[in-house]
Amino acid sequence: MRLNRSRGATALALVALLGGVGGCGLPRSGPNKAEIYKGSVLKEGDAFIVTVNSRVTRATAVMAAFGFSQGFQNAGVLPSDLIAPGDILALTIFENVKDDPLLGNSGQRVSALSELQVDGQGYIFVPYAGKIKAAGQTVDGLRQIVTKKLDTQTPDPQVQIARAPGDGSTVTMSGAVGGQGVYPIERSTRTLSAMLAKAGGVSIEPDIAIVRVTRGSHTGKVWLRDLYANPALDIALRPGDIVTVEPDNRFFVALGATGGQSRVPFENQTLSALEAIALVGGLNSATADPTGVFVLRNEPAAIANAVLGRKDLQGAQRMVYVLDLTQPTGLFEARDFLIRDGDTIYVTEAPYVQWQKTLSVITGTASTASSLSSTASGG
């Protein structure tokens, strides 16, 4: 009789202890599945909870579009000898006279005019030819203009012109390039890819490199990989262009029962949910619930309407996408579902984990009580 009473008392004590422990806040990595679902608009919450399938994947597969406008792409390659303000010109003039040449000393038929810099307005001054508009001319075009002007003053002049690119025909290379600086546009560096090579290439991983070109008030940018894959993106450069190579600054946040909880930068142009999970060490095999993988995102109204089959939503909407990796197509859906900048990936703990924690507290408490009881009895 006493034994039965003892067992009954023990059972009641365990029930009371379970209730007490359950009422306490045991440590955990975040909300469980039930708590997340309570935030649904169907339960007076403010988030739409959507199970990921192929239709949802297609509707949400929207990535930031990079590229150059037609203004950039239609700008043709500059002639390699086109003269610009700041260029340095050297003129050599041959006169067909023996005595009293126009430009040289008596008996000197060849005259050299070296280091003539094209001024900011694009002009140079040639004795007896006057002020000549050089900027915008090719070397051969300027030679013909100078020859025509001198021909009226000295018989059959012959003119040679050499050009050295100056600071008016340059491109600024900055950011993650091998050698930052100001580079002249030369025959071999008239396109974007050629100038990047001249500047030492990129100093970051090519998969995350973005190339931005600023021309006046206009800007365009492309992925480095796309630049080399698509010749149409290898635009012709213009004097004054600023080329900046910068890393992709997109990221996602991983929380919950994953291999690591952190803010994770993208490593490729596109990143699937499966790849994102792999980046943080996968699911925690001891605690993760593979049926409770959530992607939290503020979705633009257009995409939210497409996902939910509605037309009335306006403004950004809180969306929670659910991936169940235990389903026959679960891994395929996770492989195809794209992660976007600023997403949060949260993996819930398996239900048994909380029971395990509760039992651990109970057994620990019971062991401590037993130890104290033994000590008291021994005393």
| Domains within the chain, CATH numbers bracketed | 33-63+270-351 (3.10.560.10), 70-78+169-247 (3.10.560.10), 88-164 (3.30.1950.10)
The pair of three-digit structure tokens given for residue 238, joined into one six-digit string: 């213009």
Q: What is the pLDDT of residue 23?
A: 45
Starting at the edge strand found earlier in the chain, the sheet holding 218-223 runs 181-184, 170-175, 242-247, 209-215, 218-223
Query: Maximum Cα–Cα distance for the chain, whole Å?
Result: 144
Q: What is the pLDDT of residue 44?
A: 77
| Beta bridge pairs of residue 245 | 175, 211
Phi-psi region at 309: left, alpha or beta (left = phi > 0; alpha = psi -120 to 50):
left
Distance, CA of 270 to CA of 89 (rounded, Å): 49
Instruction: Measure Cα distances from 257 to 57, 66, 110 in Å.
Output: 24, 35, 84
Angle between helices 351-378 and 2-23 (to 10 degrees): 130
Element (H, E) at 284: none
The pair of three-digit structure tokens given for residue 194, joined into one six-digit string: 């050629």
* Closest by CA position to 288, among listed 350, 346, 355: 350
Q: Report pTM.
A: 0.72
Instruction: Measure Cα distances from 277 to 90, 254, 269, 359 in Å.
Output: 63, 8, 16, 30
The pair of three-digit structure tokens given for residue 306, joined into one six-digit string: 């497409």
- One pLDDT digit (tens) per residue for the chain, 379 residues: 444 554 544 444 444 544 554 445 566 667 888 889 998 888 878 999 999 999 999 999 988 778 999 999 988 888 777 888 888 899 999 988 777 777 766 667 888 888 889 988 999 999 889 999 998 898 999 999 999 998 888 888 899 999 887 777 889 999 999 999 999 888 889 999 999 999 999 999 999 999 999 999 999 999 999 999 999 999 999 989 999 999 999 999 999 999 888 999 999 889 999 999 999 999 988 889 999 999 999 999 999 999 999 999 999 999 999 999 999 899 999 999 999 999 999 999 888 666 566 666 566 554 554 554 555 555 5
The pair of three-digit structure tokens given for residue 110, joined into one six-digit string: 């060849």
Any idea of the CA torsion for 32, 35, 40, 44, to the nearest 10 degrees? 180
| Beta bridge pairs of residue 294 | 322, 346
| Beta bridge pairs of residue 51 | 322
Distance, CA of 111 to CA of 90 (rounded, Å): 11
